[in-house]
Amino acid sequence: MARRGLLLAVVGILVAGLSLVVQAETDKYGGTLTFGATAEPAKGFVPILGNGMPDLMIYQFCAEPLTWGGENYPSELRPILAESWEMSADELSWTIHLRRGVLWQDGQPFTADDVLFWAQTIQDPAAGAVYFMKRFYVGDVPHRFEKLDDYTVKVTTAKPVYRLMQDICVPLIPRHIFVDNGITSSGLSTSVWNTQGCVGTGPFKVVSYSRGEAIILERNETYWGGRPYLDRLIIRIVPDADALVSAMLTGEIDWARLRTGSVDLDDIQAASHLTAITPLIDYSSYVGVNVKKPMLADKRTRQAMLMALDREAIVGNLLGGLGVVMNAPWNQVVTAYTPMIGYDYNPDAARQLLASVGWEKGSDGILVSKNVNGVSPGSRFVIEYSSISASDNLPVLVQAYLREIGIDVTIRLIDQATLAAENDGKADKPFDLMRLNFGYFGSNAGAYARAFGTGDASVSQTCYDNPETARLFTLGSNTSDPAVADTYYRQAAEIVWHELPVLPLFQQMRAWGINKRVHTEEAVANPGIYSQFEFVGRIWVDRQ
């Protein structure tokens, strides 16, 4: 009897323990998490139209691509709405097998018809999916999408595209929503599905949007990836950064990006209910240089300009130390990244290089052409720096450092639309220097071809059209072996590092404030994506 009593006691303990485990798991379900954002969605809710924050954050909560592994998503190629795929023997077509049992958030099934509609809409210039269109073409030839059955799609390309599944890593849109409501490509951006909330397949769905106030998302109960933990996500729009921090300190906001180089981080870390993270992210800043301008055409001039910038001090002053000085043309996320030497801060060496180009110091300290190739003798070294951002002091810092070596820089603040209209598609671009940011390109250096490997001054952002780097980027994109591709990209990087069509400044960190009631262990943090998590449905919050 004693043994039986002991056995029952042990069983009771085990059952109680199991009950606690089940209860702990159950406790993860429910509750609301509030994000803070300083801006409205710029393009809306249809995920083929936008490529900025907070648009991408919303897409990554609500919508999904066929795969992860391309720009704006984790670098590792991973099946999402496509379960598997294979390339044909002639390397000109792909067969994509779609995930079965996936439902759109309105309950309609996801099928091959949606994939065809999505691709054709992106390929239609009237839709306005300008940023993504080029991923669905080889030159001027669009990829051809065909339905083999309800869950199989064939994609044919004009030449082998070894990174096709990464290139087309753009969230899907539902055919029935637009076709059934008579919404054409040209009406996509103004439709209610873009202005108020599109239907996706992701773990959360948009249920309301009050401009200037909040976007409210709720759990997608039929999500194929498993029932999300949270009941609700709220993205509060708080344009004033001070007010955003205050809302975090009072507990009204659980998660928000902080300003770098400010006291925000100190305030958050001092609060007992908050913590902060500062991950290095896939985002880098440069000064773009128009290599076709006579004053800037000599690579020694560009080398001197980079040596004139105290980039360590810029990271400290501008970012509060939340960044690393770049020592390669692209950042450390790229698998072909190799650290390179040269261009440490050395204004004296910079002055000597400029003298070797043919510049001499004028009476007011500004350099004057003595015998600079292509520049009239007596011309002062005066150039303009175009920047679309006035939110920090980077233009002023660059201006001051270059003034120290005799280059007179005028700052021109300009909006993105005007800058694009003046320069995009033109071989003879008017800008001298331009603020550039490259980010969320992922691990494949081939994504940097648009900057360093086009072979076409009208396509290149900086008029850089070196045929050798173009050849190397082409070789890299034409091999199916990533390791072989990286050997070509490293060779291209050495050339770019020597010629400097851009002045690499720093790779950024991000500062985020987080309420300690938020649990992200299962969500898998990944600073290479805007939503920050690979599995947003696995975020949960304490509700006590």
What's the full length of the chain, in residues?
544
Structure tokens at 120: 């054709």
Q: Is the pLDDT of residue 323 over 50?
A: yes
Q: Is the pLDDT of residue 33 over 50?
A: yes
Q: Mean pLDDT of all residues in the chain?
A: 89
Q: What was the pLDDT predicted at 439?
A: 81
By CB atoms closer than 10 A (0-12, 13-18, 19+), residue 173 is buried
**How many CB atoms are closer than 10 A to CB 87?**
18
Structure tokens at 541: 């919050």
Q: What was the pLDDT predicted at 261?
A: 66
Pairing between strand 144-149 and 141-142?
Answer: unpaired
**Which residues share a beta bridge with 234?**
34, 216
Torsion of CA 201, 207, 208, 209, to 10 degrees: -10
pLDDT above 90: percentage of residues in the chain? 66
Looking up tokens 């759990």 gives 219
Residue 485's identity, in one-letter code, is A
Q: What was the pLDDT predicted at 143?
A: 97
By CB atoms closer than 10 A (0-12, 13-18, 19+), residue 528 is buried
Better-scored residue on pLDDT, 446 or 12: 446
Listed residue (169, 136, 260, 203) closest to 442, CA to CA: 169
Q: How far apart are CA 485 and CA 473, in angstroms?
A: 8
Residue 531: pLDDT band by 50, 70, 90 thresholds? confident
Alpha-carbon distances of 501 from 115, 287, 452, 457, rounded to whole Å: 39, 9, 8, 12
Q: What was the pLDDT predicted at 419?
A: 85
Coil/strand/helix, residue 512? strand
**Which residues share a beta bridge with 275?**
514
Listed residue (237, 197, 210) closest to 58, CA to CA: 197
Q: Is the pLDDT of residue 3 over 80?
A: no
Residue 192's identity, in one-letter code, is V
The answer, yes or no, to whether the previous bond of 54 is cis (omega within 30 of 0) is yes
Structure tokens at 348: 């004296």
Q: Is the separation of the CB atoms in 437 and 53 below 8 Å?
A: no
Phi/psi at 121 (nearest 5 deg)? -70, -45
Pairing between strand 214-219 and 433-439?
Answer: unpaired
106-115, 237-246, 302-311, 448-457, range with the lowest pLDDT: 448-457
Mean pLDDT, to the nearest integer, of 437-462?
83
DSSP state string for 377-439: TT-B-EEEEEES--SSSHHHHHHHHHHHTT-EEEEEE--HHHHHHHHTT-SS---SEEEEEEE
Q: What was the pLDDT predicted at 279?
A: 85
By CB atoms closer than 10 A (0-12, 13-18, 19+), residue 140 is exposed
pTM score of the predicted model:
0.79
3-state SS track over 111-150: CHHHHHHHHHHHHCHHHCCHHHHHHHEECCEECEEEEEEC
Q: What was the pLDDT predicted at 453?
A: 83
Write out pLDDT tens, residues 217-250: 999 999 999 999 999 999 999 999 899 999 999 9
Phi/psi at 500 (nearest 5 deg)? 50, 65
Q: Is the pLDDT of residue 8 over 50?
A: no
Count of alpha carbons within 13 Å of 145, Cβ hemisphere only?
21
Mean pLDDT, to the nearest integer, of 456-467?
86
Write out pLDDT tens, residues 353-377: 999 999 999 999 999 999 999 999 9
Listed ranges 225-234, 276-285, 457-466; the one with the highest mean pLDDT: 225-234
Coil/strand/helix, residue 29? coil
Q: Is the separation of the CB atoms in 330 and 438 below 8 Å?
A: yes
pLDDT above 70: percentage of residues in the chain? 94
9-18, 106-115, 444-453, range with the lowest pLDDT: 9-18
Q: Residue 490: which residues within 8 A CB-CB, separation 6 or more? A: 336, 338
Mean pLDDT, to the nearest integer, of 402-420?
92
Q: What was the pLDDT predicted at 264?
A: 85
Q: Is the pLDDT of residue 293 over 50?
A: yes
Looking up tokens 């409501």 gives 181
Coil/strand/helix, residue 540? strand
Q: What was the pLDDT predicted at 19?
A: 37
193-197, 228-232, 249-253, 261-265, range with the lowest pLDDT: 261-265
Q: How far apart are CA 396 and CA 238, in angstroms?
A: 27
Q: Is the separation of the CB atoms in 282 and 334 below 8 Å?
A: no
Q: Is the pLDDT of residue 67 over 90?
A: yes
Better-scored residue on pLDDT, 112 or 10: 112
Q: Is the pLDDT of residue 527 over 80?
A: no
Q: How far apart are CA 541 and CA 544, in angstroms?
A: 9
Mean pLDDT, to the nearest integer, of 529-541?
87
Q: What was the pLDDT predicted at 26?
A: 55
Q: What was the pLDDT predicted at 14?
A: 37
Structure tokens at 364: 């007011």
Coil/strand/helix, residue 27? helix
Q: How far apart are CA 178 and CA 185, in angstroms?
A: 9
Q: Is the pLDDT of residue 163 over 90?
A: no
Pairing between strand 32-37 and 255-258?
Answer: parallel
Listed ranges 166-170, 393-397, 398-402; the one with the highest mean pLDDT: 398-402
Listed residue (25, 73, 47) closest to 536, CA to CA: 73
